[in-house]
Amino acid sequence: MIYTPASKMEVLFSTQQIAERVAELGAQISADYAGESVVLIGVLKGAALFLSDLARSIQVDATFDFVAVSSYGKGVRSSGAVKLIKDVDNSVEGKHVVLVEDILDTGLTLSFLRKLMLQHRPQSLRIATLLDKPERRKVEIEADYIGFRIPDHFVVGYGMDYAEHYRNLPDIRVMPGDGTE
């Protein structure tokens, strides 16, 4: 891979814009689950930073768990088939679950994970995604909490990668060439 310096990439959302929106989502989740406990389930690795910030703006009792998936093939975008790499560590049966994802793109990953979670018989299941690219959807699925809706750009930073790089950028940037080269 040819490494493009982050300084050459256009900033789509600044650290401040992200922080403000994540705080709003946290407040919304806190209100929706007032008096309840919630299990935040992050999708590794992309959602790790979003989960850590979101969790800190949630006022209700919250526990964490993580799942990991991979799509077959080496493409940057998901190839279609989703494979489970890691399931939750603790049972979520009878619990309020919020699946926390970085991007809802074609929807294949989250529809796979939604089915998997429902097999674990939670009391309720909702989806929080930082970014949503509705134009790219291949299967019908909507998130309950959405940070930002964006057009079809390939983005990196704040947990999101291009070939595993750029996850540590504190803001969200657009990958030149749309990440497909």
> Which residues are catalytically annotated?
105
122 part of the interface to Mg ion, by CB under 5 A? no
Number of residues that bind ligand IMP (CB under 6 A): 18
Question: Is the Cα torsion angle 75, 77, 78, 79 positive or negative in sign?
Answer: negative
AA identity, residue 74 = K
Binding segment for ligand IMP (CB under 6 A), chosen from 2-10, 17-25, 59-67, 156-164, is: 156-164
Q: How far is the CB of 35 from ligand IMP (least distance, A)?
A: 31
Of 42, 39, 43, give the one whose Cα is nearest residue 60: 39
104 part of the interface to ligand IMP, by CB under 6 A? yes
64-103 residues in contact with ligand IMP (CB under 6 A) are: 77-78, 101-103
Strands (E), 31-81: 37-44, 61-71
147 part of the interface to ligand IMP, by CB under 6 A? no
Alpha helices in 35-94, H assignment, sequence order: 48-56
157 part of the interface to Mg ion, by CB under 5 A? no
